[in-house]
Structure 1
Amino acid sequence: MDGIGLILIIIAGVFFVIVATAKFNLHPFLSLLIAAFAIGISSGMPLPDVVEAVNGGFGGLMGGIGLVIVFGTIIGVILEKSGAALRMAEVVLRIVGEKRPQLAMSAIGSIVSIPVFCDSGYVILSSLKKALANKTKVTVASMAIALSTGLFATHTLVPPTPGPIAAAGNIGAENYLGTVILFGIIVAIPAILAGYLWAVKAGTKIHIQSDEDESMYNYDEVVSSFGDMPSAIKSFAPILVPILLIGFSSVITFAGWTGSIFSFFLFLGSPVVALLVGVLFAFALLPKFDEETLTEWIGVGIKEAAPILLITGAGGAFGSVISSTSIADLIKGIAGNDLAVGALFIFIPFVIAAALKSAQGSSTAAIVITSTLIAPLLTQLGIEGAVPLALVVMSVGAGAMVVSHVNDSYFWVVKEFSGMSITQAYKAQTMGTLIQGGTAIVVTSILWFLLV
C-alpha cells in the first residue's frame, strides 16, 4: 500500500499508541510492538519481512545504546544511595550562594538529573529543598518550581539521560554523542534559567498550606542527617569523566588527529566505554564492598534500566517497520518542499513530541516515538552530520517538555513532595514546563538557522 492510505495507517498506529498508553494504561512497550506489527501487516508487507523489521529494529537499537542506558542508570543509583547526589547539591549551593536559593536549587537539579531520573532526583532533594526554603525565608513553592524545572531540563536534553540517548540512537546520531551533549548543555541552560525566572515570579505568589510547618526542616540538621557523604571530587567524577571522555573523542574526530594515543582516547570516548569508566569511578563512592552494594544497588540500576530498554527497543522496532514500508517514496516528494528543508523544519519534531508528551505523559516515551517517526524523514531529506542531528535531538527533547500535567508521574511527584494543590501544581509545574519547552525550541531554532 502507498499514498494517502499508508499515511492514514501510520497515523492510526500512532493514535493507537497514544490511546492505549494514556486511556487504557497499556505499557508503551506492548503498545509500540502491537502498533509495529499492525502497521506492517496493514501496509501489505510480506509477513516474514514484518518479523524481520521488528527484530532488526529492536536488536539494532539495543546493540548501539543498550549498555549505555544500563551503565547510566547504575551510576545514578550509586550517586543516590551513597549520598553523592547530596554532596553535589551542597557544593553547588556553596558556589551559587544562599542569597539566590532558587538559582541554587535549579543548578542542583540540573546536575543531579543528568544521571538520575528526575522523579528520583526530586525525591532525593526534597528535604534539602524544604530546609533551604526555611533557612532563606522563601516559599516552598518557589523552591519546588526551581528544583523541578532544573531537573526536567537536563532530563530531556542532556545525555547520558536515557531519552536523549535513545533519540540519538534512533536517528543515527549515536556516533555524535559528544556533540549532542554539547548542544544539550547549550540549550538546557536557557531552559533552566527560564524555569528559575518562573520560580521567582510565580512561586513567590503560591503559598502552600504546609509552609507553616517548614520550621521543622533545619538546613544544617538535614545535611548532617545524611551522615558521612563522599568528597566532592568523588561525587562529580562518575558524571564528569564520561562526559569529558566523550567530548574529547568528538574533538579528536573533528580535528582528524591520528596516532596510537588518540586511538586510545577514541576507544575511551566511545559511549559504552566512557559510561563503563563512569561506573568504575562510581565504585569509589561505595561505602563498602559487599552483597548489598555490589549486587543489590547495581541490581536496582539494572531494574530501573529495564523499562527504558524495552520502550527504546520497541520504539526501534516501530520505526524499523515504518521505514520498511513505501513511506520513503512519499517522503521523497516532501524533500523538495522548502518548508521541510528550510529553517522551519526544526519545529516538526518539536510539535510531534509535544503532542505525544501532552497526550500520554511520559517524556521518555514521547522522545522515543518521535525520533523513530522522523528518522526516515531525516534520511530522505539528507539531514546528516553531527550538528544537524544534535539539533534534531534538541527539538525532540524540547517538545517532550510540553507539558507536564496530570497524566505525568513527575507532575504528581512534584505536587505531593511539595504539598501543592492540583491547581497550584498546574500553575507551577505545568506552566513552568510549557515555558521551558518554548524557550528550548526557540534557542534550538536559532542555532538551526545559524549553523545548518
Structure 2
Amino acid sequence: MDVQLLLALALGIATIVVIVLRTRLDAFVALLIAALVTGFVAGAPAGEIIASITTGFGNTLASIGIVIGLGVAIGKILEVSGAADALAQKFVKLLGKGREHWAMAGTGAVVSIPVFCDSGYVIMNPLARSIARRIRGRYVTLALALGCGMTLTHHLVPPTPGPLGVAGILGTDLGALILAGLVFALLLLPVVIAYATWIGPKLESEISPNVREAVYAGVPAGTSAAANAPGAAASGGGGTGAGPDEVTGEPLREDTPSALGEPPAGAAPHKVGFWLAAVPLLVPLLLIVANTVATASDRNAQGVLAPTDEYTPSGLASVMGFIGNPVVALIIGIILAVYLLLPRWTPRNRVHGWLADAAASAGLIILITGAGGALGQVLRDTGVGNELAEAVSALSLPSVLVPFLVASLVRLAQGSGTVAMITAASVTAPLVLALGLSPLLAALACCAGSMVFSYFNDSYFWVVTRFTGLEGTAALKGWSGITTAVWLASLPLLLIASLFL
C-alpha cells in the first residue's frame, strides 16, 4: 500500500472542505486547488498536473456543459411562465382530498427535475400554505413533503445539474441514469410521505408565530412570512411584485405571469394548462430515454454487447442517436418552452433577460462540474485512484459503498449536495473498472449518498425551515431527519441494484 498516494487523496478532500467552510473562496476554486494539492503530494511533476487539470476540465465540459446550460434555461421558463404552478395544481386535483401531502411530494419531485430546489420551493410553497389554510392544519407535513420530494429528483434525476455532472465525469449513459433515477425517486417517495406524516403533527405546534399567522390567518397585503428567509433572494424567489396573490396572500414575485408583458386589448389572460406545461419537460426526457432504448436494442441485434466493442448504429438507432442526444433533445425542449409557454406579447428583451439569468445560474454549476472532472483526471494520472481501489478491496466492503460514503462524508462536511456528488464522482471515476462497478451504479451511489442530513451548512435547509417556520431542534427533527431517512432508505436500493447493474 502506497501511503503517499492515499495521503494525497485525503489532503485533497480536506482541502475542499476547509476552503469551502473557512475561506471566502467557492467550491470551483476549492476543487482546482485540491487537484493541485493532490498532484503535488502524489509526487507528479508540475507540468503534468496542469496538463491533467486542463484535460479533465475540457473533457468533462465537452460532454455535459451545454446540457447543464439548456436544462437550467428550460427550468427558468417553466418558472416564469406559470407552468410550474399548473403542474402543482393538477397534482392536487388528481390526488383529491386527504392526499394533499402526496400531491405536494409528487409536485416537488416533478418541478425539481428542471428547476433548482431553492427556486422551486419558493414557487411552490404558497400552494402548500393555501392548502393548509383551507384544511386548517397539516402545514408542516405538506411543507416537508414538498421540500423532500424536490430533494429526491434534484439529487437523482438529470437534467438536474448535479446528476448531469456526475454522468459526465463517470461516463454514464444519460438515458439510463434518468430511468434509474426515476425508479429510485418513485421507490423513495413513500419514505418521504411516511416521515412527513409521522413528524408533521409532532412539530405543528413548533411553527413560529409569524409563519403560523401567515398560513392560518392570512397575510396582510404586501407582507410575507418568508421575506426574511435566508437564501430566498439568492434562490430567485425574492421580489415583491405588484401586491399579494389573491389565493395565497403571498406577494407576487417579479417573474410571475403578471410580469410576462402587457397583453393586447381584448386578449384573454395568459394561462398554461397541465399538458402544455409538461411538454417542454417530457419531450426531452422521452427523447433521451428513447435513444438509450433504441441503441441498446440495436447493439443487441448486432451482437455488440461489450461497451468497448466497435459499434455502428443503423436504422432507427441512428436517427434516435441524433434527436435523442441530450444536446439536441434539450435544444428542442428550450424551443418548446419559449414558444409554447410564453405568450406572444412577452417582450423579446424580457425573454432574453430570463435566459441570461438562467445562464448565470448555470455558470457556477458548469465550472464546478468541470473542476470536478479536473480533480478526477489528476487522481487517474497520478495513480491515486488505483491505490484507493486496492485499499478499499482489502476492506471487503461492497464496492458500491465507496462512492456512497465519499458523497455522504463530503455532504456532511460542507453542505452542498451538488459539490458532494461531483466530488464523489471525481474520486470514483478512476476506480470504476478496478472495483467492478458499472458507471450507472457508481453514479446512483454518488447521487444517493449526497442526500444525507441537510443541516446548517446547506442553504436549502434555511429556505425550507424558514418558510416552514421551524427553528432549532424542530428544524433538525423535521428537515434534517427527513433527508436522512431517504438517504438511509436509498442504501438497500443500491445494494439490490448492485446485483443487476
TM class by shorter chain equals over 0.9
Secondary structure at the aligned position of 2:203 is classed as: coil
1:253 corresponding residue in structure 2: 295
* 1:365 aligns to 2:422 (yes or no): no
Q: Partners of 1:29 and 1:352 in 2: how far apart?
A: 18
Correspondence for 1:346: 400
Q: Which residue in 1 is equivalent to 2:434?
A: 380
Offset of residue 317 of structure 1: 0.8
2:118 aligned with 1:151? no
Deviations 1:123-171 (A, max 9, x none): 0111111001111233221111111110000000001101111111111
How does the TM-score come out when normalised to structure 1?
0.93
Amino acid at match of 2:367: L
Compare 440-449 and 412-421 and name the one that shifted more: 440-449
- 1:296 CA displacement: 0.1
Distance, in Å, in 2 between the alignment partners of 1:19 and 1:338 is 28
Structure with greater helix percent: 1
The worse-fitting range, judged by mean Cα deviation, of 74-83 and 88-97 is: 88-97
Match of 1:306 in 2: 363
Compute the displacement of 1:42 (Å).
2.6
Rounded Cα–Cα distance in structure 2 between residues aligned with 1:243 and 1:437:
25
Number of residue pairs matched? 441
Instruction: Classify the secondary structure of the residue corresponding to 2:197.
Output: helix
Secondary structure (helix, strand or coil) at the match of 1:178 reads helix
The C-alpha deviation readout for 1:103-141, integer Å capped at 9, x for no partner, is: 110000000000001111100111111001111233221
2:323 matched residue in structure 1: 268
TM-superposed CA distance for 1:270, in Å, is 0.8
Equivalent residue, structure 2, for 1:87? 86
The letter of the residue matching 1:313 is G
Q: Contact 1:328–1:380 at 8 Å: present in 2 too?
A: no
Q: Unpaired runs of 5+ in structure 1?
A: none
1:403 to 432, 438, 453: 453
Give the secondary-structure state (helix, strand or coil) at the position aligned to 1:403.
coil
User: By how many angstroms is 1:337 displaced?
Assistant: 5.1
Counterpart position of 2:29: 30
Long gaps (5+) in structure 2 = 220-243, 259-269, 302-312
Equivalent AA in structure 2 for residue 286 of structure 1: L
CA distance in 1, matches of 2:121, 2:393: 46
Q: 1:295 — aligned with what?
A: 352
Are 2:110 and 1:111 equivalent residues in the alignment?
yes
- CA shift at 1:330, angstroms? 2.4
Aligned residue for 2:137, secondary structure, equals coil
Question: 2:327, 2:454 → 1: CA distance?
Answer: 31
Partner Cα distance (2:412, 2:496) in 1: 24
SS in 2 for 1:48: helix
- The one-character-per-residue Cα deviations of 1:400-435 (angstroms, maximum 9, x if unpaired) are 100100000000000111222132211110000000
- Separation in 2, partners of 1:309, 1:105: 30
Of the structure 1 ranges 108-117 and 374-383, higher mean CA displacement relative to structure 2 is found in: 374-383
The SS at the match of 1:402 is: coil
Q: Which moved more, 1:36-45 or 1:371-380?
A: 36-45
CA contact (8 A) 1:45 1:325 kept: yes
Structure 1: distance between partners of 2:393 and 2:153: 35
| Corresponding residue for residue 409 of structure 2 | 355
Residue equivalent to 1:315: 372
CA distance in 2, matches of 1:223, 1:391: 45
1:395 and 1:326, CA in 2 relative to 1: closer, same or farther beyond 3 A?
Answer: closer
Mean alpha-carbon deviation: is it higher for 77-86 or for 97-106? Answer: 97-106
1:178 — aligned with what? Answer: 175
State the SS of the aligned residue for 1:279.
Answer: helix
Moved more, 369-378 or 390-399: 390-399
Distance in 2, Cα, partners of 1:436 & 1:261: 39
